[in-house]
Homo-oligomer: A and B are copies of this chain.
Amino acid sequence: MLEPFKAYLQQRVDLTDEQFSLISDKLKVKSFDKNEMILMKGDVSSYGFFVLSGLLRSYSIDSKGKTHIIQFAPEQWWLTERNGMLFNEPSDFFIDAIEPTKAVIVHKDFMNETSKHVPCMNDLNNTMLNNSIRFMQKRINMLLSATAEERYLNFIKLYPNLTLRVPQWMIASYLGITPESLSRVRKDLAHKHFKP
């Protein structure tokens, strides 16, 4: 069950099988149904998720009832609610499963505890956090500077397989536009490609 997670780790850091078995005591795998709610806004989350299979998302709901997708987490991605994780504060966002999903559940103390015995886990954590930051900076830059069409093209390039798995209104919600607008953008793109 945890094999893919072990592979993921060993790909990134120098981790022996013995070290992994030390770690794996503290890990659990949990399954979620399609559309299952995993974390409510306002709840305090003590766990991060590493997706083994399926697809999670975190999102907010604004005052007009509209949904805004903060992050998709397909296979091999982490999804962690940072308010609860480190500061014991209630979550700003919701988390649920878009597809039936299996995920490794990582308690907030996991990194602290394991890095005592397996120091490289610290580096991994560090790398992941830094990666997450530069990823989000690029997204912010996109939202500041690009048109709907540019954002969509960028999305397709970045997540070719998500583009197929996720309903379009969710992609629109991630891009910060309405489903109708995305539909129009797609229409325009189709025309462009027929008449180049």
Chain A residues within CB distance 8 Å of chain B: 60, 62, 66, 68-70, 82-83, 85-87, 92-93, 111, 122, 125-127, 129-134, 136-141, 143-146, 173, 176
Nearest-CB distance from A41 to chain B (Å)? 11
Question: In whole angstroms, what is the CA distance A85 to B127 when docked?
Answer: 10
Nearest B residue to A81, CB-CB? B134
Docked complex Cα distance between A173 and B144 (Å): 8
A133 near B136 with CB under 8 A, answer yes
With both chains docked as a complex, state the minimum distance between the C-beta of A196 and any C-beta of chain B, in angstroms: 20
Question: How many copies of this chain sit in the oligomeric assembly?
Answer: 2
- Judge whether B92 and A137 touch: CB under 8 Å: yes
B176 and A143 form a contact (CB under 8 A): yes
A137 CA to B129 CA, complexed, in Å: 13
Minimal beta-carbon separation of A181 from chain B (angstroms): 13
> In angstroms, how far is the closest chain B Cβ from the Cβ of A104?
19
Q: A68-B144, A85-B130 are in contact. Are A137 and B176 (CB under 8 A)?
A: no
Cβ contact within 8 Å between B143 and A143:
yes
Pick from A82, A92, A111, A146 the residue with the most CB of B within 10 Å: A82
Contact of A140 among B66, B111, B130, B136 (CB under 8 A): B136
* Chain B contacts for A62, CB-based, 8 A: 145-146
Q: Which of B87, B122, B144, B173 contacts A122 (CB 8 A)?
A: B122
Contact of A145 with B66 in the complex, beta carbons under 8 Å: yes
